[in-house]
Amino acid sequence: MEEAKNNAKKASGERLLYTIFYVVIANIVWGIVCVVVIAQFLYSWIGNSLNDKLLSFSASLSEYAKELIAYISFNSDEKPWPMGDWPHQNL
């Protein structure tokens, strides 16, 4: 019984560290999203069309952000990238 409690505490501490790690990554992702938005706006303003590579990247980035939020908010136990796989884009 005591061993089960110790394992639960270890798992809880590990989850806390991963959550902090993914909160830092989520803040970095937010900065990347801002850069992509500005770049896409400028590209569409100057070239009168959207950049397909930016669209593809932002689609996979939004899926990644969804995975981050799900893990951080305890809606998922599956760790996002870099511990898990990078999400595929759904275009």
Confidence class of residue 87 from pLDDT cuts 50, 70 and 90?
Answer: confident
pLDDT tens digits, 9-64: 667 889 999 999 999 999 999 999 999 999 999 999 998 899 999 999 999 999 99
User: In whole angstroms, what is the distance from residue 46 CA to residue 43 CA?
Assistant: 5
Helix (H, G, I), strand (E, B) or coil at 43: helix
Distance of CA 89 to the CA centre of its chain: 13
Cβ atoms within 10 Å of 2's Cβ, excluding its own: 6
Contact residues for 18 (Cβ-Cβ < 8 A; gap 6+): 71, 79, 83
Q: Half-sphere exposure (CA, 13 Å, Cβ side) for 24?
A: 6
